[in-house]
Homo-oligomer: A and B are copies of this chain.
Amino acid sequence: MTTQQLTEQIIKKKSFLCIGLDVDLNKIPQHLLQTEDPIFEFNKAIIDATHHLCVAYKPNTAFYEAYGLKGWKALEKTINYLNDNHPDIFTIADAKRGDIGNTSTMYAKAFFEDLAFDSVTVAPYMGKDSVEPFLAFKDKHTIMLALTSNQGAFDFQTKQVEGKELYKQVLETSKNWKNSENLMYVVGATKAEYFAEIRKIVPNSFLLVPGVGAQGGNLQDVCKYGMSKNVGLLINSSRGIIYASSNDDFAQAAAAKAEDLQQQMEVVLNNK
């Protein structure tokens, strides 16, 4: 999928919502545990109830790996279900990978070829040759951590490196990498005031924004400072949507939460 196609979906659906599919078997409705594949059944119900309200889904690989082979199989079934039934929806493998060149190529094959995701999240610590192997895939997107939404972001990301914060060095440096047009960035919503600074460096790039809702970020502030002329935002909500209810009505409750966010986004888009 191209970024232009993603923007078209945003305009069509009046939504830039991404739903995080972080399935914890301790939190899903108990009746699903009796099915053969509870993780996939949960995801399928959430997707069926919310696909008209969002433009992206983001399974975090940790929640699948924790369940071993069964988890990886559920991840495979989930991405196949999305690609078969909703090919217009942008898919993100939230994997935060990164390794030396030939190894990063193997990760890129895992997420772009074996599992046919549109994008994968990566960590910047190992630099250019750990990220460029991902960027080499045409019409695939590499979403690099810049400023994350957790407290630990202040340990290194906001430290001064040669006159500017590390996350700004990461953004600026990455603009010079080969196929950098395939880069997007993770920027946490809990630090909305940083978006104005970030937009000076990457005015047009898509930003994947976790931290609205459960982690305390504010949608209006993020849009005020972070929206580009082509929207350029994917706002993620995981727990706030998928665990809105732990009863039989969990999918409808998730849809209601997703619709609430979609309608706030529609107001923002109409006023843009």
Residues from chain B with Cβ under 8 Å of A130 in the complex = 150, 152
The answer, yes or no, to whether A13 is at the interface (CB within 8 Å) is: no
Do A129 and B151 have beta carbons less than 8 Å apart? yes
The answer, yes or no, to whether A228 is at the interface (CB within 8 Å) is: no
Alpha-carbon gap, A73 to B68, bound state (A): 9
Do B62 and A103 have beta carbons less than 8 Å apart? yes
Q: Which of B94, B114, B125, B160 contacts A125 (CB 8 A)?
A: B125
The answer, yes or no, to whether A263 is at the interface (CB within 8 Å) is: no
Residues from chain B with Cβ under 8 Å of A109 in the complex = 66
| Number of A positions contacting B (CB below 8 A) | 58
Stretch at the interface among A82-90, A162-170, A243-251: A162-170
Number of copies: 2
Alpha-carbon gap, A24 to B103, bound state (A): 10
Measured CB to CB, the nearest residue on chain B to A68 is: B114
A39 CB to nearest chain B CB (Å) = 12
The answer, yes or no, to whether A106 is at the interface (CB within 8 Å) is: yes
The answer, yes or no, to whether A107 is at the interface (CB within 8 Å) is: yes
The answer, yes or no, to whether A148 is at the interface (CB within 8 Å) is: yes
Q: Please, what's the 1-or-0 string for A92-108, where 1 marks a CB less than 8 Å from any CB in chain B? A: 00101111110110110
Residues from chain B with Cβ under 8 Å of A131 in the complex = 152
Q: Which A residues from 133 to 160 make CB contacts under 8 A with B? A: 145, 148-157, 159-160
Residues from chain B with Cβ under 8 Å of A148 in the complex = 100, 125-126
A156 CB to nearest chain B CB (Å) = 6
Q: Which A residues from 55 to 81 make CB contacts under 8 A with B? A: 60, 62-63, 65-69, 71-73, 76
The answer, yes or no, to whether A33 is at the interface (CB within 8 Å) is: no
Are A67 and B114 CB-contacts (below 8 A) given A150-B130, A170-B156?
Answer: yes
Alpha-carbon gap, A167 to B100, bound state (A): 17
The answer, yes or no, to whether A124 is at the interface (CB within 8 Å) is: yes
Do A110 and B62 have beta carbons less than 8 Å apart? yes
Ordered by A's residue number, 18 sampled pairs between the chains whose C-beta atoms are within 8 Å are: A63-B106, A66-B107, A66-B114, A68-B72, A94-B99, A100-B152, A123-B126, A124-B125, A124-B155, A125-B125, A126-B157, A127-B152, A127-B157, A128-B155, A131-B152, A156-B161, A160-B162, A161-B166
A residues neighboring B (CB under 8 Å): 22, 24, 60, 62-63, 65-69, 71-73, 76, 94, 96-101, 103-104, 106-107, 109-111, 114-115, 123-131, 145, 148-157, 159-162, 166, 169-170, 173
Task: Supply 8 further A-B pairs (C-beta < 8 A) apart from A62-B110, A156-B161.
Answer: A62-B104, A66-B110, A68-B76, A69-B69, A96-B123, A100-B148, A123-B126, A126-B152
